[in-house]
Structure 1
Amino acid sequence: MNIDTTDVIEVLGTISFAISGTFAAVQKRLDPFGVLIIAFVTSIGGGTVRDLLLGDTPVAWMRDVNYCLLILVTSILTLFFKHHIKKFKVTLFLFDSLGLGLFTLVGVQKGIVFGLEPGMCIALGTITGCFGGIIRDTLLNTIPLIFRKEIYATACIAGGALYFGLLYFGLAADIAKIAVIVFIVTLRILVVKYKLALPRFGY
């Protein structure tokens, strides 16, 4: 049985962002319904914006109810085990970074399927990776990470460019996918650990 690596990556990304959204909502002390809403928008927000831009409607999660069930189950299990996790901020950061890497690649792949140029594919990857978090943070009344000094969207752009670079030099697609995910997650960890940031403008 052949397994589509893109499907696997999308499932893992959905789980990662569902966990990320759940932890973010728990930190804001939302009720269970509010937690589920935040988990859903974090997981499907970027993909929804991407599919609407491509005219690929109904959007992916409306065509496959399994993604909704996956988010629901993941969020409930996360709530169940949250008392066993001491460092909420670290857990939120790690799953958010993992989701960012996974969904960036999903967006890039979607652009390739639609026959778009590499630049547009990278843009779609950035949208897919970032917009769920933007919607999550906006609903939680937090300044989205993409608008802060942390390197966030830049990691998606760099990861997307790396993917096309690896393909250009003949690396197998599946290996390139893994390399890009590892690159984005590692970059995010290094950025936070060493407090790296892009320069800010203004007074």
Structure 2
Amino acid sequence: MDMTALLQGLDLVGTFAFGLSGATLAVRHRLDLVGVLALAVAAALAGGMIRDALLGATPAAALTDGRLLLTALGAGLAGFFFHRALNRLRKPVLVLDALGLGLFAVTGCRRALDHGLDPLPSLILGVLTAVGGGAVRDVLVAEVPRVLREEIYALAALVGGLVLVAGLRLGLPEPAVALAAVAAAFVLRIVSVLRGWSAPRPPGT
């Protein structure tokens, strides 16, 4: 399997998933079409743009690869017109957000590694890619970003990145490692919400 094609595919799927999560949240807050598209684009692309700026990879991929912006806008339109169908799913924003989290944690970490960064800063940029868009999305509707709440969020992205780095260090097939890393982050995020797990809080609070 061509790893470049796989990463591009994961990036597009993650863009669509996060775009839908932004659009769904915008509809929940009764925003108009412009607001829905704005939240979709912010959720889908902000994390990657911040990552690329820190890597010095300018213009950012979201501005040079038209497919990413079109995918984000397509997700926004899908959320605008089909939000009733999406809302029939149980916690649609959670599922879409968890999927985007895993996908972007992997593609963000791999992009940082490709730029020659060591594993630790690559993991940090992978987490930033995964949580950045969701944080911007939440701030735009005056919600506390999920990454700052008690739920396991950034930690799930970190686990996905760790699976990727460990698998690459062990010389395992990269496509399988990438998919396993996405699955690890997604499953941890979903299970943590269903089980009520949370990140540690300061003692006495």
TM-score range, shorter chain: over 0.9
Distance 2:93 2:69 in 1: 21
Counterpart for residue 138 of structure 2 = 137
Is the CA contact (8 Å cut-off) linking 1:23 and 1:88 kept in structure 2?
A: no
- Residue 33 of structure 1 aligns with which residue? 34
Q: Give 1:86 shift.
A: 3.6
Check whether the contact 1:108–1:125 (CA below 8 A) recurs between aligned residues. yes
Moved over 6 A (4+): none
> Residue in 2 aligned with 1:124?
125
User: RMSD of aligned C-alpha atoms?
Assistant: 1.6
Q: 1:1-203 counterparts in 2 under 5 A?
A: 2=2, 4-87=5-88, 90-201=91-202, 203=205
CA deviations 1:132-174 (Å, max 9, x no partner) are 0010101110000110000111111121112111222232100
1:92-134 per-residue CA deviation (whole Å, 9 max, x = no partner) reads 1000000000001111111111010000110110000000001
How many corresponding residue pairs? 203
Q: Is the 8 A contact 1:151 1:196 kept in 2?
A: yes
Write the letter of the residue equivalent to 2:44: S
Contact residue 45 and residue 72 of structure 2 kept, 8 A = no
Structure 2 unmatched runs, 5+:
none
TM-score, normalised to structure 1, is 0.95
| Identical amino acids, percent of aligned pairs | 34
User: Scaled by the length of structure 2, what TM-score is found?
Assistant: 0.94
Aligned 8 A contact 1:45 1:132 in 2: yes
Cα distance, 1:85 vs. partner? 3.2
Which range moves more in the overlay, 184-193 or 56-65?
A: 56-65
Residues 57 and 86 of structure 1: CA distance in aligned 2, closer, same or farther (over 3 Å): closer
Instruction: State how far apart, in whole Å, the 1-side matches of 2:130 and 2:88 are.
Output: 24
Cα pair distance change 1:85/1:162, threshold 3 Å: closer
Question: Bigger CA drift: 167-176 or 190-199?
Answer: 167-176
